[in-house]
Every structure is written in structure tokens, then in C-alpha cells.
Amino acid sequence: MNGYPLHPAIVQENKIIGNNISLRNVSTEDAEFIISLRTEGQKGRFISATSSDISAQIKWIDSYLTGSGQAYFIIEDKFSNKLGTIRMYDQNEDSFCWGSWVIKDGAPPQTAIESAMMLYTYALKLGFNRAHFDVRKENLSVRRFHERFGAIMIKENDLDVFYEITKTSILNSMKKYHRFLPNGIRVE
């Protein structure tokens, strides 16, 4: 209803354009960028380990591109400079999981919130009604980000905290943070 599909599914998209950034479908040419983003410096501390084997990364991207059920994007600025990554995966009925969220040092500060808002806008457009994700317990700044956005902690174990966010909370935050994505998204 409300123009949203009744049976959501995660689909890959060539490009989703926002305000200052775009989400572009990952290609095998991004393998090196992804490896350096995830393995250099402190960025990899709270995400699953990444092999620095380029051919393994290319193989992974190739199977992603021919597979289904996930959408893995490079976050880019208006000049096609690569700023980071974000991914939707693990659909569970009307809920999707998102993660692989890494933004390189030096990216404009609004990149995080705009990329999250773009992903949520896209997910609602696909018909999803909620999202779920887990965050390393010690990843306090990211936990704070999700909590400010309206995510609710539903369980935890020694390592991770598990969150859910409903469509109502997503829409409330979209209103609150409208200034970061004033014209919504355009899918190309």
C-alpha cells in the first residue's frame, strides 16, 4: 500500500543518486579499493576480516554480480571519487539487514548519514518494513548512530549487539534529518 510493493526483494541497481553522494553497484574494478578500505588503518576493527587477496575479492564480486539477494554499493561523490561501501543483504520476510558500512577517512562528515538515509529510502521503495543488523559491542560511535536513528537493541551476546528498526522509526528519522537528503533518491 502507499505505493510500496507488497512483497519486498533486494535488487541490485546501477546507480542511486542522492544529494552529495551516489550509491553505485560494485564492480570487479572496485576490488582494490574495497580491500584497502577494509584492511588499512583502524577501519577493519569492528567488521569481519577481509583477505587482501585481490583475485579472491574479484571472485567474490563476480559471484555477487551474478547472484541475487544482496545489493552492494560503492559510495561515491559527485566526481566519482570512491568514499566507502554499504550493503543490503540477508532478507528475512519484510526485514533486510544492512552493513559492510565503511567510509574512508577524510570523506565529508555528512557521508555517513546521507548514505544510511539513501539506503533506507531505497529499502522502503523496495517494500521493506523493517531492518535488522548487528554491531560489535565496542563499536560505540556506530551504536550511537543507530540508536539516534531509532534502532532498538533486541539482544546481545559477548561480541555483538543486535538491533531492529521499524518503518515508523525510519520515516520519523527521515523527517528529522530531511536536510541531509532534501530531494530523496533517484534510481538510474
Ligand X SMILES: CC(C)(COP(=O)(O)OP(=O)(O)OC[C@H]1O[C@@H](n2cnc3c(N)ncnc32)[C@H](O)[C@@H]1OP(=O)(O)O)[C@@H](O)C(=O)NCCC(=O)NCCS
* Rounded CA separation 172/178 (Å): 10
Q: Smallest gap, in angstroms, from Cβ of residue 110 to ligand X?
A: 6
Q: Which of 17, 35, 97, 142 binds ligand X (CB under 6 A)?
A: 142
Question: Residue 21, interface with ligand X (CB under 6 A)?
Answer: no
Whole-number CA gyration radius for the chain: 16
Helix segments in the chain, DSSP class H: 31-39, 54-66, 111-125, 140-149, 167-176
Q: Smallest gap, in angstroms, from Cβ of residue 172 to ligand X?
A: 12
Question: Residue 89, interface with ligand X (CB under 6 A)?
Answer: no
Helix (H, G, I), strand (E, B) or coil at 42: coil
Kindly tell me which of 57 and 85 has the beta carbon lying closer to ligand X.
85
Contact track, ligand X, 33-52, x by CB under 6 A = ----------x--xx-----
Q: Smallest gap, in angstroms, from Cβ of residue 109 to ligand X?
A: 4
What does each C-alpha distance from 176 to 62, 70, 103, 148 come to in angstroms?
38, 28, 23, 11
Q: Which stretch binds ligand X (CB under 6 A): 7-15, 105-113, 152-160, 161-169?
A: 105-113
Q: What is the largest CA-CA distance in the chain?
A: 46
Contact track, ligand X, 113-132, x by CB under 6 A = x-------------------
Q: Indicate the burial class of 34 (C-beta count within 10 angstroms; 0-12, 13-18, 19 or more).
A: buried
For ligand X, the binding residues (CB under 6 A) are 43, 46-47, 99, 101-103, 109-110, 112-113, 135, 139, 141-142, 145, 148-149, 177
